[in-house]
Every structure is written in C-alpha cells, then in structure tokens.
Structure 1
Amino acid sequence: MAEKSKILIIGGTGYIGKYLVEASRKAGYPTYALVRESTASNPEKLELIGRFKSSGVSLIYGDIDNRESLVMAIKQVEVVISAVGPGQQSDQFKIIAAIKEAGNIKRFLPSEFGVDVDLTNAVEPAASLIRIKAKVRRATEAEGIPFTYVVSHGFAGYYLSNLGQIGAKVPLRDKITILGDGNTKVIILKEEDIATYTIKAVGDPRTLNKILYMSPPANIPSFNEIISLWERKIGSTLEKTYILEDELLKNIRESPFPINMILSVSHSAFVKGDHAANYDINASIGAEASELYPEVKYTTVDECLNLFV
C-alpha cells in the first residue's frame, strides 16, 4: 500500500478547519496544522490545540504573512488544504506563491467550502468575496499547481442551528422569517461530513484538477421543507413571514456590515439557488462526492434537525 501523503491544514483552528484536521487524522494521514504563536497562546484555542497534540497532529508554528515560515511548513508535506476564513481569502495568494517556491506539493485545496465561485448569482457584498475566491482559482491554475476545488454548499451549523434567523442561537418554535418564497432548493451538509468527503478526495486521482461537488440526495430540501420537518419534530406550526426578493435586496443595500454580508449570502442561497447545484456537473471538470464515496454515511438534514429538538 502506498504511503499516505502528509497533509498541512492552514486555518486548522478555525470553523471548518478543525473538522478537516480531525477527518485527516481519522483517515490515517500524517496531519500538520499551521498555527500562529498568538493562536497557540489564545485561551479560547488552548483546548482545541491540546486535542490536536494529544491525537497526534503535528503543530507547525508559522504565519501566512511570514514567507519563510510558510515555505518551510509547506516543504514538510505533500498536500496543502487552506481553511482560512472570509477575511483572509486574499492571503491565499501568499500560500500559492509559497507552494510554487516550495515546489513539492501534489495537491492544493483552496478555502472555498461554499458555492461554485464560477457559477453564482451573488450580489454585493458577497459578490466581492466570491470574486476573490475565483481569482484564487485562476492563480492556482496559472501557476500549474495541482488542485481540487471543494464546493460543499451550506453548513448545517449555519443554516440549521437557528433555521437561518439572524441573531438566534437555536431554532425558533413560534415565528420564523423566510427569505424568498421558500421553494428554492438548498444543499446543506453537516460540517463533519464536509470534512470527511474533502479528505477522501485528497488522494483520489478522480478529483485531481477537478471540482468536488457535495450534493447528497437526502440533503437538498427547500426552506419550506426544512420548516415542515421542524414543525413535525416540535409538534407545532410556526407563524411565517416571507421577505420577497425586492424587499430583501433593499435590506441588503441599507444594512450595515456584517448584516449585509449575511443577507447577501442568504439571498444567493435561498432566493437565487446558488446552494442548490441547479446545474449539471460536467464530468470533465467535476464529480459528486456521494457518488464517488458511497461508503460514507452522511448525516441527513432530517437527522441534523434532531440535534436541536
């Protein structure tokens, strides 16, 4: 059996990054996490970093802004996965430059974990963020770096934990606001499943220089269908208020950051269908994760909602 590639995860202590680190470790890959010195001493991150260490994850202390430390970290591995957050998307050009300088990387997975950035109807301010991600794709290709782009669509932790209600900590049981008419399909996956599929793709020749689309069939409901599932689970009917597109666009224009960002992402997902994979996957450029890896038992939307009852 071929030796498994060493994987470096940049942004491993972040929202999706911690799941990627765990999935990589569980899959038996030698797993490395790039950690800033300031992060290592952050009280809020100490428990997570402690779990990394105790589970055999190798910590590499460095910084995206320190080219030397970044190149040194990349030279120790064969695969780089970026999981940097929305505010650091432009920093990925530094990662690309470091990968090019190191010259040893077999696969780079930039931080997308959302819509297909080349197929989106997003409005500002989300549109600017997506354009940066698209430029990262083009820069990766221009440098001839082997890649896999991950289109994971919606996070269950974002969309289901509060049913898309801004400011809510748990799913509401009385009233709910629905963006659009509620009939647009949206793909939602549990974060652990996104990480599992991503790591599955790392050493798979079928995903080399292609897009990994995640659209498991049990996880493509409309928002109205999600609400119906929730109502059945709690045994009551919610009072529904619909905000149609014209009003939503007005709210986006008039809202301050970060509310306008949240609303523009939601407009893309729940009105325009950018999280619905409403396009055919071209086999020459992409593949669907649940078809490639039928052995993965993913968590359905119905099962995810059980966590919040």
Structure 2
Amino acid sequence: MASKSKILFIGSTGHVGKFVVEASAKASHPTYALLSDSTLSDPTKSHIIDHFKSLKVIFISGDLYNHESLVMAIKQVDVVISTVGHNLLADQDRIISAIKETGNVKRFFPSEYGCDVDHVHDVEPARTAFNAKAGIRRAVEAAQIPYTFVSSNLFSGWFLPSLAQPYLLEVVTPPEDKVTILGDGKAIFNVEQDVATYIIKAVDDPRTLNKILYVRPLQNTYSCVDLVALWEKKCGKILDKSYVSEQQLLNDIREASFPLNLRLSIFYSVFVKGDQTNFDIEPSFGVEATKLYPDIEYTTVDEFLNQFV
C-alpha cells in the first residue's frame, strides 16, 4: 500500500480547521500544523492545542505572513490544506507563492467551505468574500498548482441550532414560536466532522484532482419550508410563519450591520437564488462526495436536530 500523504494545515485552530486536522490524524496521515507563537500561547486555543498534541500533530513555527516559514513548512509535506478564516481569504496568494517556490506539493486545498463561488448570485457583503475565494481559484489555476476545491455548502453546527433563521445570531436552540421563511431555494447542511472526513478521503484520490468536491447529500437538502416542517414534527408545535420578499431582504441587507448583513447576504444566495442546488455537477469540473464515498455514514439534518428535542 502506498504511504499516505503528509499534510500541512494553515489555519488549523479555526472552526473548520480543527475538524479537518483531527480527521487527518485519525486517518493516519502524517499531520503538520503551521502555528504562530501567539496562537500557541493563546489561552482560548489551549484546549485545541492540547487535543492536537494528543493526536500527535507535528507543530511547525510560522504563519501566513512569514514567507520563509511557509516555504520551510511546505517543503516537508505533500499536501497543503488551508482553513484560514474569512478575513484572510485573499491573503492565500501568499500560500500560492510559497507552493510555487517549493515545487513539491501534489495537492492544494484552499479555504472555501461554502457555496461554489463560480455559481452564485451575490450581493455585498457576501460578494467580497465570494470574490476573494474565486480570485484564489483563478490564481491556483494560473499557477498550475494541483488542487481540489471544496464546496461543503452550509455547516450544520453554524446554521441548524437556529434552524437557519436569517435574523437570529448566536442562537443555541431552534425557535418554538415564530419563524421566518425566505424564498424557495434549497440549502444543503453538512456536519463539520463529515465534511472533514470527505476532505481527507479526497487527499490521495485521483478522482478529485483538479476538481471541485461537492458535499451534496440528498437527505440534507432542505428549503426553509421543508426545514420548518421537519422541526414542527419534532417539537410537536405549529409555528407562526412570516414570509420575507426578495426586495425586503435586499433592503434589510443594506440596512443591517456586520455580521448580520453578511449572514443575510449568504442566505439571499442560498434560499432566494437557490445557489447551492440550481446547477448540475458536470464531470468536467466536479465530483460529489457521497457518490465517491458511499461507505461514509454522514449525519442527516433529521438526526442532527434530535439533540434539541
């Protein structure tokens, strides 16, 4: 059996990163994390760092803005997975430059983990983030770096505790009285650990080389109406529903401040324009994770919501 690729993570302690690092280590890949001194000494990150240590993750000192540290780290691995956060998306051009300089990377996964940014109807402020991701895609292609782009759609852990309610931030349980309905587009919800498992499965899979890996399980595809109906069945209540028009949502996006305006603009793309499901995955540019790896038992939306009953 061929040896498993050595994987370097950049942005490993963020929401997405910690799950993919764990999946990598548990799949027996030699797993490396580029970590700055400030991250290693951050008390809010200590539990993540301790968990990485228990998984035998190899720490490399450095960060995104230290070119020498990037090059040194990348020289030690086969695959680079970026999981940097929202504010650092455009700065992934620094990773591209370092990969070009080393010349040894056989696969790069840039940080995306959402809608396919080549198939979106966007408004600000989501447009800026989508454009940054698309710009990195074009830069990777222009640099002729082997890649896999990941379209994981909506993370269950971020969106389902609020039942994907557009105007509710930091809600930890689904509503049991009133809900808001946006459009008739269908969203796809995936548990973070499942997405991480699919990403690591794709690392050494030639079928995912220079393709977009979509995570599109049919059982996790819901419109707002579908999602509310499922929750009503579980909680045994009929909820009071208010319907927001496309124009009203656009007005609300313009008037809201961050982070609500970002959330609303993402929901505009997903639920009003249907950008996660309104196109077919063509073999020329993409593959679907649940079809590639039918042996993986993913968590359904139905199962995820059981914890709140």
Is TM > 0.5 for Structure 1 vs Structure 2? yes
Contact 1:231 1:238 survives alignment (8 Å): yes
- Structure 2: unaligned runs, 5 residues or longer: none
SS of residue matched to 1:187: strand
Aligned to 1:287: 287
Q: Which amino acid aligns with 2:69?
A: S
The residue that corresponds to 2:266 in the other structure is 265
Matched, 1:170 2:173: yes
SS of alignment partner, residue 250 of structure 1: helix
Contact 1:116 1:151 in 2 (8 A): yes
Normalising by structure 1, report the TM-score.
0.97
Is this contact kept in 1: 2:12–2:21, CA < 8 A?
yes
Gap runs ≥5 in structure 1: none
Whether the 8 Å CA contact 2:78–2:105 is kept in 1: the answer is yes
Residue type at the aligned position of 1:82: S
Q: Deviations over 1:116-162 (max 9, x none)?
A: 11110011111111111111011101111000000111110122011
2:132 aligns to what SS in structure 1?
helix
* Per-residue deviation, 1:256: 1.6
| Kept in 2: contact 1:154–1:275 (CA 8 A) | no
Q: How many residues align?
A: 306
1:138 aligns with 2:138: yes
Q: CA RMSD in A?
A: 1.0
Q: Aligned-pair distance for 1:173? A: 1.1
Match of 2:251 in 1: 250
Query: Is the 1:214–1:289 contact (alpha carbons within 8 Å) kept by the matching residues of 2?
Result: yes
> Structure 1 counterpart of 2:180, which letter?
T
The answer to whether 1:219 aligns with 2:258 is no
Instruction: After TM superposition, give the deviation of residue 13 of structure 1 in Å.
Output: 0.4
Residue deviations 1:226-248 (CA, integer Å, cap 9, x gap):
11111111111111111111000
User: Scaled by the length of structure 2, what TM-score is found?
Assistant: 0.97
2:231 corresponds in structure 1 to 230
Partners of 2:154 and 2:53 in 1: CA distance: 30
Equivalent pairs: percent with the same residue? Answer: 56
State the partner residue of 1:111: 111
Task: Tell me the alpha carbon deviations over residues 259-301 of structure 1, each in whole angstroms, 9 at most, x when there is no partner.
Answer: 211110111111111122x211110211111000000001111
Give the corresponding residue for 1:52: 52
Query: 1:64: how far off?
Result: 0.4
Matches within 5 A, 1:3-42: 3-42=3-42
Equivalent residue, structure 2, for 1:179: 182
User: Equivalents in 1 of 2:181, 2:13: separation in Å?
Assistant: 32
TM superposition outliers: structure 1 runs of 4+ over 4 Å: none
Q: CA deviation at 1:178?
A: 2.1
Letter matched to residue 75 of structure 1: K
* Partner SS, residue 241 of structure 1: strand
Aligned counterpart, 2:210: 209
